[in-house]
Homo-oligomer: A and B are copies of this chain.
Amino acid sequence: MPIYDFSLKDLRAYHSDVLPPQDFDAFWQRTLDETRAFPLAAAFEPFESGLKLVEVFDVTFAGFGGHPVKAWLILPRQRSAPLPAVVKFIGYGGGRGFPQDHLLWPAAGYATLVMDTRGQGSTWSKGDTADPVGSDSAHPGSMTRGILSPETYYYRRVFSDAVRAIEAARSHEAIDGGRIAVTGGSQGGGIAIAAAALDPTVKALMPDVPFLCDFPRAVSITPRDPFPEISRFLAVHRDRIEQVFATLNYFDGVCFAARIKASALVSVALMDTVCPPSTIFAAFNALASTDKTLREYGFNDHEGGGAFQERAQLEWLAERL
C-alpha cells in the first residue's frame, strides 16, 4: 500500500490533540495500588526447552486482580553477576509461544522475561494466560472488551500485568533490577510505553511500530485491524462514541509518553497500515525523554524495521544498560 498518511515533513511536526483526563495519574495510581494489594507470588519453574545455551523458566506471577499471568524467563546458561534484563511484550493476538521464539535478547546476554498477554494467544502464537474477566457486549477481539468505562477496559488489566511483569523480573536473583529495558512490537510496543510510564525505574524503552497511540486519529484513518475493531463497535453502538473516547484517553500512548523520562529508541514505518505513522510520531513527539531516537522506515508496512531495527537496538541498548 502506498503512502496514505501525512507527508514526512508534517509527520515530524505532528502533535496530537489527545489530552489525558484530569485524573489520569490518580486513576493509574489507584489501579496499581489495587494490583499490588495482591502478593506478586512470582514462581519460576524450570522448563525443558531443548536449548543448551540458555536456561528457561516457566513463570507465573499475580497480575491485575491477582490473576495468574504466565511468562518465560530466559537466562544465558553461562552467567556470573546479576544481568541487565529485557522485558518483552507481545503483539496483538499472540501469546508467549515457546522459548525458542524469543532468543534475540538472551543470545545478546540479557536476562529476558517475556510476558504472556491475558486472553490473547490464539491467532498467531500460543498463549497460556486466561483473562478471567468478562465484558459487556463487545466486538470480536480485545479492543472493545469493557470499553464503556476505564475501570473495566481490557487494557487496564494488561498494563497492570505489564508493571507486575517488570516486578517479577526484578524479583529474580539473576537480574540486576536497576538495569531493565522494556520492548515489544506493535501492541507489545504500546504496552512497553505504558509500562515505562507506570514504572519510572525502567531505564530504557524500545517500542517498535507501537500500537495504542493517538486513538482519535487512528480510529479514523487506519485501514487494517485491530484499530477498526473500535470503529465497528461504534458503528453499532452509535450512542457511545463520546463514552468510548473518554475511556480511551486513559490508555493512549500519547498520554503515557509525556510521563516517560527513560531513554527511548522508537521505530516507525511510513507505509504502516496497522499503526499509522502519524500516531507513532504523536507518541514520539510527546515523549519527555531527553535521550530519544526515532528510526524511520520509508517503504515498510507494519513489519517495520525488522532485523535492521533489531541490530540498531542491540547497539543502542548495549550503550545504555
Contacts and interface: CB of A to CB of B under 8 A. Distances in A.
Interface of A: 1-3, 50-54, 76, 78, 93, 95, 97-98, 100-101, 103-104, 106-109, 119-142, 144, 219-223, 228, 231-239, 241, 271, 297-301, 303, 305-308, 310-311, 314-315, 318
A215 to B, nearest CB: 13
A3 B220 contact: yes
Given A3-B220, A53-B106, A141-B140, A235 B135 contact: no
Contacts of A125: 236, 306-307
B76 A236 contact: no
Nearest to A94: B236
B140 A140 contact: yes
Given A236-B123, A236-B125, A241-B299, A310 B53 contact: no
A104 B49 CA distance: 11
B232 A122 contact: yes
A1 B223 contact: yes
Contacts of A300: 235, 238
Nearest to A143: B140
A50 B315 contact: yes
A50 B2 contact: no
Given A122-B236, A137-B128, A76 B52 contact: yes
Contacts of A303: 235
A101 B140 contact: no
Contacts of A134: 119, 130-134
A140 B126 contact: no
A234 B220 CA distance: 28
A123 B310 CA distance: 19
10 contacts: A2-B228, A3-B221, A50-B108, A50-B315, A50-B318, A51-B107, A119-B135, A120-B137, A122-B138, A235-B300
A4 to B, nearest CB: 9
A235 B307 contact: no
Nearest to A305: B238
Contacts of A311: 50, 98, 100
A138 B109 contact: no
Contacts of A95: 137, 236
Nearest to A78: B78
